[in-house]
Amino acid sequence: MTIEKVGVVGAGQMGNGIAHVSALAGYTVMMTDISQDALDSAIALIDKNMTRQVSKGAISEDEKAAALARIACTTTLTDLGPCDLIIEAATERETVKQAIFDELLPHIHENTILASNTSSISITRLASRTDRPEKFIGFHFMNPVPIMQLVELIRGIATDDATFNACQEVVDRLGKTSATSEDFPAFIVNRILMPMINEAVYALYEGVGNVSSIDTSMKLGANHPMGPLELADFIGLDTCLAIMNVLHDGLADTKYRPCPLLTKYVEAGWLGRKTKRGFYDYRGETPVPTR
CB 114 within 8 A of CB 132: yes
Is 219 a known ligand-binding residue? no
**224: annotated active-site residue:** no
**55: annotated active-site residue:** no
Backbone CA torsion sign across 24, 29, 35, 36: positive
**152: annotated active-site residue:** yes
Is 264 a known ligand-binding residue? no
How far apart are the C-alpha atoms of 146 and 135, rounded to whole Å? 26
Is 33 a known ligand-binding residue? yes
CB 7 within 8 A of CB 104: no
**107: annotated active-site residue:** no
DSSP state of 280: E
Catalytic residue among 22, 178, 181, 190: 190
Is 210 a known ligand-binding residue? no
Is 30 a known ligand-binding residue? no
Is 269 a known ligand-binding residue? no
Is 65 a known ligand-binding residue? no
Is 274 a known ligand-binding residue? yes
φ, ψ (nearest 5 deg) of residue 74: -155, 150
DSSP state of 43: H
Q: SS3 for 132?
A: coil
Catalytic residue among 16, 22, 119, 120: 119
Catalytic residue among 22, 122, 140, 181: 140
CB 115 within 8 A of CB 1: no
Is 134 a known ligand-binding residue? no
Is 97 a known ligand-binding residue? yes
CA dist 93 → 49, 245, 284 (Å): 28, 12, 32
Q: Which residues are annotated as a binding site for NAD(+)?
A: 10-15, 33, 92, 97, 119, 143, 274
Residue set of the binding site: 10-15, 33, 92, 97, 119, 143, 274
Active-site residues, by number, are: 119, 140, 152, 190
